[in-house]
Amino acid sequence: MDESTSTMNAAVANSPAARQLDRDGFGKSAASDDVVLDVRDLRTHFTTRWGTVKAVDGVSYHVRRGETLGVVGESGSGKSVTALSLMRLVPSPPGQIVGGEVILNGRDLLKLSEREMTKVRGGDISMILQDPMSALNPVFTIRNQVGEAIKIHQGLKGRPLWDAIVDSLRKVRIPAPALRAKDYPHQLSGGMRQRVVGAIGISSKPSVIIADEPTTSLDVTIQAAYLRLLRQIQQEEGVGIIFITHDFGIVAKMCDRVAVMYAGRVVETADVRTIFNNPLHEYTKALITSVPKLEEKTGRLPQIEGQPPLLYNLPPGDAFAPRSPLPHTDKDLQIRPDLVEVEPGHFVQLAHSSVKEFHKYAHLVPYGDEYKGDGCPGS
């Protein structure tokens, strides 16, 4: 390891997120090794007047039962479009899922009919929104709204339906659930409304819950309540959670594993400890060192140097190369880097222009030889 690498790693280890990691503990190990959701080489494109936007350009990740996978990356990196693609909710036109597989409990969701998909959506895979006001309908009672989800997915009616409603409110720790069920959303506090949204999310006993951070920043107490709720749901129900966020600090607290996205691709994925202690991709390092300090509520990740790329005009090769502190050549922009398993469970998109230790792993990729003896760092 050369001097600048160790300086970078020291900076990463001392970052606010890493300190938080030490203090709060992490890596609540997944309940089992069962992979419940396996996303393979997913591609979703938008047709625009400027050209084809490759919003999701070959994304692969998986989620195990009872595990939280954090998906992080700057605005526009394709986190939400990936999530919408899993639910088959990409607006079409202009969007289209053009390739890949989304295997949920052994079934490829991309091959299901729209009718079958309606059952899966909000059933085996569900989404919990952070903002309770936009998720609940103000003119219906809590009973109606929780009941609706249960009716669709469990086909209950009458007394058993009522019992199931009360039971799911109790599960998310709503006091006096039988009374609260008769209330309208405005009669509950923000934290309670959040719990109702959680109750709807788990009422169909999903295998996977997607929690996507809204772009507008929320009240801090609401957000804290949301995070506590997700943790609790996970501990009790053992579902897999896909947790989408800009905030590496929250990743350290909430997630078991992390997938870092850049320009529609996963550039690095590993368990949370490895991501913080031994990040290999320059983009991951930049994200970790730019974690906002706790006392500054910015709601957005501070800018890392350079602009996110225009997704309709991406180079076929390493899209991060122009922003990377490492030198790059035309060749780097042309060769599409593979996502390579460099250590068990640690995958990195192995580009010469974005991974300082490229030479250590060059033998793992077919184009590794092309970079021999060109005088770049590490060679």
Ligand X SMILES: Nc1ncnc2c1ncn2[C@@H]1O[C@H](COP(=O)(O)OP(=O)(O)OP(=O)(O)O)[C@@H](O)[C@H]1O
Binding site for ligand X (CB under 6 A): 46, 48, 53, 55, 73, 75-81, 91, 94-95, 215, 246, 311
For Mg ion, the binding residues (CB under 5 A) are 80
Which of Mg ion, ligand X, none has residue 345 at its interface (CB below 5 to 8 Å by kind)? none
Give the nearest distance from C-beta 212 to Mg ion in angstroms. Answer: 6
* Closer residue to ligand X (CB): 39 or 311: 311
- Closest contact distance (angstroms) between CB of 180 and ligand X is 32
Residue 337 site contact among ligand X, Mg ion, none (CB < 5 to 8 Å, cut-off depends on kind): none
Q: Could you tell me which of 327, 281, 278 has the C-alpha nearest to residue 304?
A: 281
Q: 371 is in the binding site of which of Mg ion, ligand X, none (Cβ under 5 to 8 A by kind)?
A: none
Q: Which residue is nearest to Mg ion (CB)?
A: 80
Query: Closest CB to ligand X among 199 and 260?
Result: 260
- For residue 316, the partner it binds in ligand X, Mg ion, none, with Cβ less than 5 to 8 A by kind, is none
Nearest-angstrom CA–CA distance, 53 and 78? 10
Answer with the entry of Mg ion, ligand X, none that 123 interacts with (C-beta below 5 to 8 A by kind): none
Dig out the tokens for 68 from the structure.
């939280």
Q: Which does 73 bind (CB under 5 to 8 A by kind): Mg ion, ligand X, none?
A: ligand X
What is the CB neighbour count within 10 angstroms for residue 261? 24
Q: In this complex, which beta carbon is closest to Mg ion, that of residue 80 or of residue 145? A: 80
What's the rounded Cα separation, in Å, for the pair 141 and 143?
Answer: 5
> What minimum distance in Å lies between the beta carbon of 76 and Mg ion?
8
Task: Kindly state the smallest distance separating residue 360's Cβ from ligand X, in Å.
Answer: 30
Do 257 and 37 form a contact (C-beta atoms < 8 A)? no
User: Is the omega angle on the peptide bond into residue 325 within 30 degrees of 0, that is, cis?
Assistant: no
Cβ closest to Mg ion, residue 80 vs residue 324: 80
Q: In angstroms, what is the minimal distance from the CB of 56 to ligand X? A: 7
134 by Cβ neighbours in 10 Å (0-12 / 13-18 / 19+) ranks as exposed
CB of 125 to ligand X, least distance (A): 17
Phi, psi of 198 (to 5 degrees): -65, -40
How many Å apart are CA 208 and CA 204, to the nearest integer?
11
Say how far apart CA 74 and CA 201 lie, in whole Å: 26
Question: How many helices, marked H, and strands, marked E, lie in the chain?
Answer: 15, 12
Of 14 and 75, CB closest to Mg ion: 75
Q: CA-to-CA distance for 337 and 353, rounded, in angstroms? A: 10
Could you tell which of Mg ion, ligand X, none binds residue 78, using a CB distance below 5 to 8 A set by kind? Answer: ligand X
Nearer to ligand X, 65 or 79 (CB): 79
Q: Are 252 and 26 in contact (CB under 8 A)?
A: yes
Q: Where are the alpha helices (DSSP H) in the chain?
A: 3-13, 16-24, 79-86, 114-120, 132-135, 142-154, 158-171, 177-180, 190-202, 220-237, 248-254, 272-277, 282-289, 330-334, 358-361
Q: Which is nearer to ligand X, 100 or 147 (CB)?
A: 100
As measured in angstroms, the least distance from the Cβ of 110 to ligand X is: 18
Which C-beta is closer to Mg ion: that of 44 or that of 80?
Answer: 80
CA–CA gap between residue 89 and residue 92 (Å, rounded): 8
**List of residues 6+ apart from 182 with CB closer than 8 A:** 141, 142, 143
Given ligand X, Mg ion, none, residue 81, with its beta carbon under 5 to 8 Å by kind, binds ligand X
The distance of closest approach from Cβ of residue 80 to Mg ion in the complex, given in angstroms and rounded to an integer, is: 3
Choose the one of Mg ion, ligand X, none that binds residue 94, judging by a C-beta under 5 to 8 angstroms depending on kind: ligand X
- Least distance in angstroms from the C-beta of 38 to Mg ion: 22
Closer residue to ligand X in complex, CB, 90/335: 90
